[in-house]
Amino acid sequence: MTHRWHKKRPHFPFVTLLFFIIILLTILYNETSIKRINQQQDDLKKKYVFGQDHFLNFATFWKQNAFLKKSPVTLDKFSTCDLTVKYSGRKGQYDAHMPKSYDKREEQGECDYFSGKWVFDNTSYPLYDEFDCPYMSDQLACHKHGRQDLGYQNFRWKPHGCNLKRWNATEMWEKLQGKRLMFVGDSLNRGQWISMVCLLQSVIPATKQSMTPNAQLTIFRAEDYNASVEFLWAPLLVESNSDDPVDHRLDERIIRPDSILRHAARWEHADILVFNSYLWWRQGSVKLQWSRENDGICEEISGLGGMELAMEAWAEWVASKMNPLKQKAFFVTMSPTHFLREEWQPESSGNCYNEKTPIENETYWGSGSDIATMEMVKKVLGRLSSKVNVINITQLSEYRKDGHPTIYRKFWETLPPEKLSKPESYSDCIHWCLPGVPDVWNELLFQFL
Ligand SMILES: *[C@@H]1O[C@H](CO)[C@@H](O)[C@H](O)[C@H]1NC(C)=O
Ligand SMILES: *[C@@H]1O[C@H](CO)[C@@H](O)[C@H](O)[C@H]1NC(C)=O
Ligand SMILES: *[C@@H]1O[C@H](CO)[C@@H](O)[C@H](O)[C@H]1NC(C)=O
Ligand SMILES: *[C@@H]1O[C@H](CO)[C@@H](O)[C@H](O)[C@H]1NC(C)=O
Ligand SMILES: *[C@@H]1O[C@H](CO)[C@@H](O)[C@H](O)[C@H]1NC(C)=O
């Protein structure tokens, strides 16, 4: 009996019905989605043309994620803009935690450590030997790459009215005991990090130190101090298509002005943070892709405008997430370039190539250090008051036209003969030889820790 009953009502038709209902729902869902897509695409004057195959377009749209509340596609070196429009004036939602007013920064005691002069001192300087530092970069090892005049290694920074504390690597390690010191920024900041590692590594045995392979985050560890000195490549502070530490994208700069958290996730647990950002904003306009917009649509803004948006996003992170009782943050101001000899020696040509001594004119300021940028940085940092210490390297580094690698470094690209015969044409007047100027930036950091 029961056997027959079963035969009359098999499960099969019910399963089939369910299947068709699902298919129907899927089609309906896709139809409405596609209407929404078309609407949106029209609104945005985007160049997608919807063909016959709705499913395919739905898949494309799925990737574009405009209505699915998933996180946006991460920018990388392959990211491009499908459409670029003028900057709309839009700002991030940054102001929640930022004080509105400008706080007058407390002076560091009586003395302004950033105003002074360079004194030749070949008994105390250099603070380490270029060839004794296993972590030296070929971009900065000027003696190794043929520089013969080594005076650039022998200058001490003498602030007016006081002296910098003497560098002491053991004392620095004691300050770093159980801590993570992290440098975050571009290649200038990386130079400062290498300088710090070189300044510190000699006092600990080789077996008690280690360095991870070069990556976006590179870590130097000192076992006995349970401490690390790290570098995070983030040249534009916020997420960008230039975040690959080796293969930088240079031609089209795209940033997500509202995406600081992706980088912050890597720095948020550091105890001491040293940030910089400047030169990557000096190559013309940048493009903005807001996180919740369709990928591919960009707004174009000036480099300075882009930097201000990035600085505001960064400042909001500092104001809301950083714990000043546990963490310390520093911002290193713009590192000057020396591209135009006529600026320090009127009626001459050339650049920093062959410069062997610092500039003595104390009011000297070159065109490479953009005053509008400095004003903006000062305004943003002013609102963070005591949460961020400024390491104002700009003026003191302005004097050091002699401190750049020029032709005495490794160049990754092959240089054609017509360039090789004119050293000025490929001189690096941006970075700094080590030992050299960045060691003093670190002495200032040591002073303020
Ligand atoms: C330091 O410089 C002075 C003057 O140029 C020179 O006479 C002296 O030999 C140098 N000392 C060292 C240790 O290089
Ligand atoms: C460096 O610092 C250590 C630890 O604070 C101290 O013992 C040593 O005397 C200092 N060295 C110099 C040359 O001041
Ligand atoms: C080492 O330092 C980290 C913080 O950087 C801390 O979490 C950990 O407890 C320390 N370990 C020891 C053994 O002190
Ligand atoms: C010193 O530098 C300033 C600013 O760059 C310039 O205006 C001035 O003429 C220079 N003075 C001398 C004596 O070269
Ligand atoms: C850094 O110092 C220069 C003068 O040397 C000054 O004009 C500038 O405002 C300072 N920047 C900051 C952020 O304090």
Atom 2 in ligand 4: which residue has the minimum CA distance? 364
Q: Look at the block and give the residue holding tokens 């029961």.
A: 2
In whole angstroms, what is the distance from residue 391 CA to residue 378 CA? 12
Atom 6 in ligand 4: which residue has the minimum CA distance? 364
Per-residue HEC secondary structure of the chain comes to CHHHHHHHCCCHHHHHHHHHHHHHHHHHHHHHHHHHHHHHHHHCCCCCCCCCCHHHHHHHHHHHCCCCCCCCCCCCCCCCCCEEEECCCCCCCCCCCCCCCCCCCCCCCCCCCCCEEEEECCCCCCCCCHHHCCCCCCCCCCCCCCCCCCHHHCEEEEECCCCCCCCCHHHHHHHHCCCEEEEEECHHHHHHHHHHHHHHHCCCCHHHEEECCCCCEEEEEECCCCEEEEEEECCCCCCECCCCCCCCCCCCCEECCCCCHHHHHHHCCCCEEEECCCHHHCCCCEEECCCCCCCCEEEEECHHHHHHHHHHHHHHHHHHHCCCCCCEEEEECCCCCCCCHHHCCCCCCCCCCCCCCCCCCCCCCCCCCCHHHHHHHHHHHHHCHHHEEEECCHHHHHCCCCCCCECCCCCCCCCCHHHHCCHHHHCECCCCCCCCHHHHHHHHHHHHC
pLDDT recorded at residue 14: 57
Q: Best of 340, 343, 360, 363 to mutate for ligand 4, by most ligand atoms within 8 A of CB?
A: 363
- Residue among 359, 425, 447 nearest 396 (CA): 359
pLDDT recorded at residue 50: 32
Pairing, β 388-391 against β 155-159: unpaired
Cα 300 to ligand 3 centroid, rounded to whole Å: 45
CB distance 365 to ligand 4 below 6 Å? yes
pLDDT recorded at residue 258: 84
pLDDT recorded at residue 120: 97
Q: Look at the block and give the residue holding tokens 């209407």.
A: 35
pLDDT in tens, the chain (449 residues): 444 444 445 455 555 555 555 555 544 444 444 444 444 444 443 333 333 333 434 444 444 444 444 456 788 877 888 778 888 888 876 555 665 554 444 455 678 999 999 999 999 999 999 999 999 999 999 999 999 999 999 999 999 989 999 999 999 999 999 999 999 999 999 999 999 999 999 999 999 999 999 999 999 999 999 999 999 999 999 988 888 888 776 778 888 888 888 899 999 999 999 999 999 999 899 998 888 776 678 889 999 999 999 999 999 999 999 998 999 999 999 999 999 999 999 999 999 999 999 999 999 999 999 999 999 999 999 998 779 999 999 999 999 999 999 999 999 888 899 889 899 999 999 999 999 999 999 999 999 99
pLDDT tens digits, 281-338 = 998 999 988 887 766 788 899 999 999 999 999 999 999 999 989 999 999 999 999 9
pLDDT recorded at residue 60: 46
pLDDT recorded at residue 51: 31
Cα 307 to ligand 5 centroid, rounded to whole Å: 17
CB distance 363 to ligand 4 below 6 Å? yes
In whole angstroms, what is the distance from residue 41 CA to residue 97 CA? 36
What's the number of CA atoms in the CB half-sphere (13 Å) around residue 371? 3
In whole angstroms, what is the distance from residue 362 CA to residue 116 CA? 8
Cα 219 to ligand 2 centroid, rounded to whole Å: 26
Burial group, residue 88, by CB count within 10 angstroms (0-12, 13-18, 19+): exposed
pLDDT recorded at residue 20: 55
In whole angstroms, what is the distance from residue 44 CA to residue 68 CA? 17
CB distance 178 to ligand 3 below 6 Å? yes
Atom 7 in ligand 4: which residue has the minimum CA distance? 364
Ligand 2 atom having least distance to the Cα of 168 = 1
Atom 8 in ligand 5: which residue has the minimum CA distance? 374
In whole angstroms, what is the distance from residue 245 CA to residue 235 CA? 9
Q: What is the pTM of this model?
A: 0.83
CB distance 409 to ligand 3 below 6 Å? no
Q: Best of 166, 171, 202 to mutate for ligand 2, by most ligand atoms within 8 A of CB?
A: 171
Ligand 4 atom having least distance to the Cα of 362 = 1
Ligand nearest to the CA of 311: 5
Cα 72 to ligand 3 centroid, rounded to whole Å: 35
Quick one: tokens of 143? 């003696």
Cα 226 to ligand 3 centroid, rounded to whole Å: 6
Q: Best of 226, 230, 327 to mutate for ligand 3, by most ligand atoms within 8 A of CB?
A: 226
Ligand nearest to the CA of 340: 4
Domains present along the chain, CATH in parentheses: 112-448 (3.40.50.1110)
Cα 368 to ligand 5 centroid, rounded to whole Å: 14
- Catalytic site positions: 187, 428, 431
